[in-house]
């Protein structure tokens, strides 16, 4: 990472640090990759959930973006963004807020995968004279929700919505299964599989003469390894802006690409056990143990020195609410980590760690300090 | 729980619900138990971290309380509380904020367990003409930080601080080991062990003629099972106000005592897999899997119906950021959970689940709606 700048040493720990130079490099890297494949990126803004971050990810306010909550949609709409996909299955109790955004001129697309949801949307639309823009969710890997790509229900739901005046804007899938890939070949295969699923799904809809212009696929691993995006119109990815240890283990990034860390202070030693205690527990790091099932388990995060250089095999091994325990590996002693020392912890899962902080401290490319507030709640 | 009140059905999900009647009963129960044992309760306010909750837990603003961050100390000080123990080992970089609270007239006690911390406190105190009130942390069960109760360092640190004008206010231990008890007999034993440790520790200090008036022990399990608190002056506990599934598994509470749940809406079905999808993922429930190693594993939480009645063996089995998957047990079908249905999920670990929400919706004893904001950050 960068050298230690003086203001970093006086910042109150624990806090979440974003290395802006790395962040910008990561943002640029995927943008270029997806453009080169002739496709559009629709970044998932859920990782940092910050308007200040979005301004770098999507300098053009009319660019497509993905959100995971209506609170995000509302905040990004306030910031001027106009093309948002709310990528969680819609429930009827949220349609008032969707309508309010549509009435403000925001193109907010909603997602569904059942006739029940379609009927609720039609009924609400009729009652309030609203045309909703709809994505149908497709299951490409048995991972979560969505309809199987060959299900006749896809066409049925699309027809039902279309005949009742709704707009079928797209089909989308999330290749969550790619997170458990053991090799990059498996990620390449997962990427191909999601594209195949989406092409099959859209065919189910177009046979009824419904345009359904957007074919949306995505996940950070598959976005970085997809080779053939023909017919696909857009790719979604979220965690690529900062990366994390799960992505490192998957071979999607290098350790030096990880742009997020939690800065913490050594508050104690247990020399007998060779433990270093720090002031970052699960409140600052999250409970996410995403690397536990991967080839290298980083506990609750990999420890770096004050300047951000990773210390091999030095991990936060145990957490309480506000305490982290670093059980040192053989060959390291607590004397190397004097009480008061600042350390940085790379996160297992950037989305989960970011969620524990209401704002992020940003080390800009020129060494200045910025603060990016996070959008909170639902 | 209580019957469904109309306003609950229109509240935007997911949200964290506090059942105030249960909360008040839990608060009263431990208060009475500890008073009957001739001891003082110093509640740990970190679970809900809300001034509105504290007003019920500690109606008297001069009552002792425990906090886990200086942000809490500052917020509770703003609310008028005057006796706060910051129960995380102090680091020198936090002393400016401690001093500011002392100068406002708040009796903020700090915690340490090393000569390095003691020297930092002495040096800062000398430089700024401040007398700090100090607790020495004792390790009663090899669980985290603190000095072994018979360590000569305890007396050495106390003397060093005392001679340099600091006040040795107390010794404290946290019986974190009680969370892994397999039987109530083991909790009783853990409670006894922490009291023994604290009595030994204070003897190390008093032999030098230092008063050290407070003997502080605690954890929610041991607070509920301690039998002999002689010499002990105060007991700390946090999660007892709402309880959770970890506490239920430990036999500390009944399911019907749990006063916290996350209210969620069914947003999808996967009939083939017998999965119900809900709009509460780890963002709302937390990643805490505290019951994973206990005799009954509740996944990411036990599901209750809309009125709060627990559904046996129905758990959130898998979570993504905003999606929860309820893999139904044999004999249950997705048709029992129509899309749009509201459900409540009891948390594994109340502290971790509360930490995911910036405010709590409170169902008062009379069926009214209150909102309690959470204190955020450090």
ipTM entry: 0.96
Tell me the DSSP string of B125-182. HHHHT-PPEEEEEE-SSSSSSSB-TT-HHHHHHHHHHHHTT-EEEEEEE--GGGGG-S
Distance from CA of B203 to the nearest CA of A (A): 22
Region A94-111 average pLDDT? 98
Question: What values do phi and psi take at A230, rounded to 5?
Answer: -60, 140
Which residues of chain A lie closer than 8 angstroms to B177, CB-CB?
none
Given pLDDT bands bounded at 50, 70 and 90, which one contains residue A1? very low
The predicted structure's pLDDT at residue B144: 85
User: End of a domain among B237, B265, B285?
Assistant: B237
Rounded Cα distance, A90 and A116, in Å: 11
The predicted structure's pLDDT at residue A291: 97
User: End of a domain among B237, B267, B284?
Assistant: B237
> Same structural domain for residues B358 and B256?
yes
Q: Between A176, A325, A358, which is nearest B376 by CB?
A: A358
The predicted structure's pLDDT at residue B1: 43
Given pLDDT bands bounded at 50, 70 and 90, which one contains residue A3? low
> Same structural domain for residues B50 and B139?
yes
Burial B252-289 (b: 16+ CB within 10 A, else e): bbeeebbbbbbbbbbbbbbeeeebbbbbbbbbbbbbbb
H-only helix segments in A209-311? 220-225, 245-249, 282-285
> Same structural domain for residues B303 and B204?
no
The pLDDT > 70 percentage for chain A reads 99
- Ranges assigned E (strand) in chain A: 15-19, 40-41, 64-67, 83-89, 107-112, 133-138, 167-173, 214-218, 234-236, 260-270, 275-278, 302-304, 310-315, 318-319, 324-327, 342-346, 359-363, 369-373
Which residues of chain B lie closer than 8 angstroms to A173, CB-CB?
none
User: End of a domain among A213, A237, A261?
Assistant: A237
Which residues of chain B lie closer than 8 angstroms to A377, CB-CB?
357-359
Q: Which residue of B has its CA nearest to A67?
A: B322
The predicted structure's pLDDT at residue B2: 46
A265 touches chain B (CB under 8 A): yes
Region A72-87 average pLDDT? 98
Residue B33 is assigned to a structural domain of this protein = no
Given pLDDT bands bounded at 50, 70 and 90, which one contains residue A144? confident
The predicted structure's pLDDT at residue B143: 83
> Same structural domain for residues B206 and B283?
no
Q: Between B176, B266, B321, which is nearest A68 by CB?
A: B321
> Same structural domain for residues B271 and B354?
yes
Token readout for A65 is: 């973006």
Rounded Cα distance, A23 and B217, in Å: 45
Residue A196 is assigned to a structural domain of this protein = yes
> Same structural domain for residues B330 and B257?
yes
Question: Which H or E run contains B318?
Answer: strand B318-319
Region A337-356 average pLDDT? 98
Residue B58 is assigned to a structural domain of this protein = yes
Residue B29 is assigned to a structural domain of this protein = no
What's the domain count of chain A? 2
Token readout for A89 is: 């299955």
The predicted structure's pLDDT at residue B71: 98
Q: Between A88, A283, A357, which is nearest B267 by CB?
A: A88
Residue A171 is assigned to a structural domain of this protein = yes
Asked if pLDDT for residue A332 goes beyond 80, the answer is: yes
A176 touches chain B (CB under 8 A): yes
> Same structural domain for residues B197 and B274?
no
B277 touches chain A (CB under 8 A): yes
> Same structural domain for residues A307 and A159?
no
Query: For the domain that residue A83 is a member of, what is the CATH number?
Result: 3.20.20.10
Query: For the domain that residue A325 is a member of, what is the CATH number?
Result: 2.40.37.20
CB–CB contact A323 B113 (8 Å): no
Distance from CA of A92 to the nearest CA of B (A): 7
A92 touches chain B (CB under 8 A): yes
Task: Single out the residue of B188, B170, B180, B176 nearest to residue B145, CA to CA.
Answer: B176
Which residues of chain A lie closer than 8 angstroms to B88, CB-CB?
267, 279, 322-323
Region A48-57 average pLDDT? 98
Region A103-115 average pLDDT? 98
> Same structural domain for residues A260 and A175?
no
Which residues of chain A lie closer than 8 angstroms to B142, CB-CB?
273
Question: Which H or E run contains A22?
Answer: helix A20-36
Token readout for B16 is: 């964290």
Rounded Cα distance, A44 and A62, in Å: 15
Residue B34 is assigned to a structural domain of this protein = no
- CB within 8 Å of A301: residues ≥ 6 apart: A245, A262, A285, A315, A316, A345, A346, A347, A348, A353
Given pLDDT bands bounded at 50, 70 and 90, which one contains residue A350? very high
Residue A331 is assigned to a structural domain of this protein = yes
Q: Do B318 and B277 form a contact (C-beta atoms < 8 A)?
A: no
A15 touches chain B (CB under 8 A): yes
> Same structural domain for residues B305 and B355?
yes
Cα A159 to chain centroid, rounded? 32
> C-alpha distances in angstroms, B72 versus A42, A62, B108, B323?
39, 41, 11, 31
Range of the domain at A330: 6-16+252-373
User: In the beta sheet, which residues pair with residue A15?
Assistant: A263
Q: pLDDT under 70 in chain B at which residues?
A: 1-3
B114 touches chain A (CB under 8 A): yes
The predicted structure's pLDDT at residue B194: 96
Q: Do A84 and A68 form a contact (C-beta atoms < 8 A)?
A: no
Q: Do A213 and A167 form a contact (C-beta atoms < 8 A)?
A: no
> Same structural domain for residues B182 and B258?
no
B266 touches chain A (CB under 8 A): yes
Residue B26 is assigned to a structural domain of this protein = no
Rounded Cα distance, A147 and A149, in Å: 6
Distance from CA of A233 to the nearest CA of B (A): 25
> Same structural domain for residues A259 and A145?
no
Q: Which residue of B has its CA nearest to A137?
A: B268
Given pLDDT bands bounded at 50, 70 and 90, which one contains residue A2? very low
CB pairs under 8 A between A and B: 154
Task: Single out the residue of A117, A88, A82, A116 nearest to residue A102, CA to CA.
Answer: A82
């Amino acid at each position: 990472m960068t050298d230690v700048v003086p203001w970093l040493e006086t910042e109150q720990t624990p806090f979440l640090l974003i290395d802006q130079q790395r962040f910008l490099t990561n943002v640029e890297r995927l943008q270029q990759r997806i453009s080169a494949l002739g496709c559009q990126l629709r970044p998932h803004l859920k990782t940092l959930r910050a308007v200040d971050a979005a301004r770098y990810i999507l300098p053009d306010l009319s660019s497509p973006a993905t959100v995971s909550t209506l609170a995000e949609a509302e905040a990004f709409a306030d910031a001027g963004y106009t093309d948002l996909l709310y990528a969680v299955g819609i429930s009827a109790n949220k349609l008032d807020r969707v309508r309010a955004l549509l009435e403000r001129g925001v193109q907010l697309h909603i997602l569904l995968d059942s006739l029940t949801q379609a009927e609720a949307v039609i009924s609400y639309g009729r009652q309030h004279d609203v045309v909703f823009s709809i994505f149908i969710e497709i299951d490409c890997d048995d991972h979560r929700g969505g309809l199987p790509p060959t299900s006749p229900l896809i066409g049925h739901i699309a027809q039902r919505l279309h005949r009742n005046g709704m707009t079928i804007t797209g089909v989308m899938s999330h290749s969550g299964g790619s997170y458990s890939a053991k090799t990059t070949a498996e990620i390449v295969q997962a990427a191909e599989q999601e594209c195949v699923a989406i092409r099959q799904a859209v065919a189910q809809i177009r046979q009824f003469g419904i345009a359904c212009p957007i074919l949306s696929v995505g996940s950070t691993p598959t976005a970085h390894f997809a080779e053939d995006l023909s017919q696909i119109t857009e790719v979604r990815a979220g965690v690529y802006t900062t990366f994390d240890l799960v992505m490192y283990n998957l071979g999607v990034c290098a350790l030096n690409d990880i742009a997020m860390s939690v800065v913490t202070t050594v508050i104690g030693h247990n020399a007998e056990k060779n433990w270093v205690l720090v002031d970052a527990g699960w409140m600052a790091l999250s409970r996410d143990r995403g690397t536990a099932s991967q080839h290298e388990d980083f506990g609750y995060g990999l420890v770096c020195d004050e300047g951000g250089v990773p210390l091999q095999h030095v991990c936060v091994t145990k957490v309480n609410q506000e305490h982290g325990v670093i059980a040192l590996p053989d060959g390291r002693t607590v004397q190397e980590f004097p009480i008061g020392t600042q350390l940085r912890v790379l996160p297992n899962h950037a989305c989960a760690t970011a969620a524990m902080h209401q704002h992020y401290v940003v080390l800009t490319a020129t060494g200045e300090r910025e603060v990016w507030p996070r959008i909170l709640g639902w």
